[in-house]
Amino acid sequence: MVKKQTLSQLIIAAELAVGLALCSKITIPLGLIPLTGQTLAVGLIASIVPIATGTWTIAIYLLLGLIGLPVFAGNTAGLAALFGPTGGYLWGFFLYVWLVGAFCKVFKPTLALIIGNIVGAIVQLFAGAYWLVLTANLTWTAAMSSGVMPFLIPALIKLVLVVIVAKAILRRLPTRFGFRN
């Protein structure tokens, strides 16, 4: 039998995965890798729920895409999206969630949100760039210039929004639902 707390976390994760899918529809084309609302949603998810719930959220989201639902940016789905040139950014969402969660365990809330999201976003971008090197036959320099550099300023803007919104949410949501305080 599944524990009530675990079931609650899975329900929250499923709801957040739907929200993440909706945010992926916000897309601004910027060459090989588009600027999307996905990373904004991932940062927010990582900031408001425990690591386990955030991990489940990303897993559900990726599974929805794997089975063919067009939940990824640009209405993409399937193996090509997960293992093609942009796949590293999707898999990097796990790293983002884990890093923010780890920082939230070590630092005070506001500092954890700021540092965790900065480190999480940068590591997620580097995971995507590394994947580009592996799958698109780019040099590390080319992967950095096309897959990281154009996204640093937008990432900073998203991080400010994530911290502001996460703090507002955390002030209002009960910890019994697994949200951080």
Residue 29 has what pLDDT? Answer: 76
Residue 81 has what pLDDT? Answer: 95
Choose among 143, 159, 29, 50: nearest CA to 89.
143
Residue 178 lies in a domain: no
DSSP state for residue 66 in the 8-state scheme: H
CATH number for position 150: 1.10.1760.20
Residue 91 lies in a domain: yes
Residue 172 has what pLDDT? Answer: 86
Residue 161 lies in a domain: yes
pTM of the entire predicted model: 0.90
Cβ atoms of 94 and 60 closer than 8 Å: no
Tell the residue number behind the tokens 């890798």, with chain if given.
Answer: 33
- What is the mean pLDDT of each successive set of 10 residues along the chain, which is 181 residues long? 73 96 87 78 95 96 97 92 95 98 87 94 97 96 94 90 93 67 48
Residue 176 lies in a domain: no
Instruction: Give the span between the Cα atoms of 42 and 58, in whole angstroms.
Output: 8
- Considering its fold, how many domains does the chain have in total? 1
Residue 1 has what pLDDT? Answer: 46
Instruction: Give the span between the Cα atoms of 181 and 107, in whole angstroms.
Output: 13
Range of the domain at 80: 4-171
What is the chain's percent helix, strand, coil content, to nearest 5? Answer: 75, 5, 20
Cβ atoms of 85 and 131 closer than 8 Å: yes
Residue 181 lies in a domain: no
